[in-house]
Amino acid sequence: LLIMYIWGIELQRISLGALIIALSMLVDNAIVIVEGVLIARQQGSPLLGAINYVIRRSALPLLGATVIAILAFAPIGLSQDSTGEYCKSLFQVLLISLMLSWFSALTITPVLIKWWLFKNAPSAEAPKEKADPYRGRFYRGYQQTLRILLQQKTLTLVLMGALLA
């Protein structure tokens, strides 16, 4: 809201609608970071090593996904006609909120992970059990289904076409 005020974006129906749209997309970046750290910890990485690894590995892909989501609304916000004039704040609010979401996922979320999720765990110590999240029954079934679908490409395309028709 502070950046909206600085940019001169009024709080009206379109900007409130943009905030509502952005709410569903705001948590995605943080979820990726938290899940990545949890998986790295389950695989035996120390906490700070897991956080550093996940941030280095995820920063650019998350930025790319965030920019793509912002660009999806660019034609509306950058239009030179009355639609652009009326809906410009939609694009601006999404731009502000999603970029702040990406930034906070890479800076604030790791601190919160250390404070709340692993507040009693020493930073250098790895967890005692090394559970592989990719060995479960659900994942093996999912992997087998994907393998079959990728081997039968023509049949998969026909079935997907029929389902989507």
pLDDT band at 125, cuts 50/70/90?
low
Find out whether 84 and 78 touch, Cβ atoms under 8 Å: yes
Indicate the helix (H) or strand (E) that contains 106. helix 82-112
60 and 41, same structural domain? Answer: yes
Question: Residues 8, 88: one domain?
Answer: yes
Nearest alpha-carbon partner for 65 in 34, 105, 37: 105
- pLDDT surpasses 70 at 122: no
Helix (H) or strand (E) holding 130: none
User: Mean pLDDT of all residues in the chain?
Assistant: 85
Residue 51 and residue 39 in one domain: yes
Domain count for the chain, please give it.
2
Cα–Cα distance for residue pair 64/73, rounded to 1 Å: 15
- H-type helices in 1-81, by residue range? 2-7, 13-42, 47-72, 74-77
pLDDT per residue over 26-60, tens digit each? 888 999 999 999 999 988 899 999 999 999 999 99
Domain span including residue 61: 2-129
Positive or negative: CA dihedral 122, 124, 129, 132: positive
pLDDT at 123 over 60: no
Confidence (pLDDT) at 92? 86
pTM above 0.85, yes or no: no
Q: What is d(CA 80, CA 48) in angstroms, rounded to the nearest whole number? A: 48
Q: Tens digits of per-residue pLDDT, 57-82?
A: 999 999 999 999 899 888 888 888 88
101 and 142 housed in the same domain: no
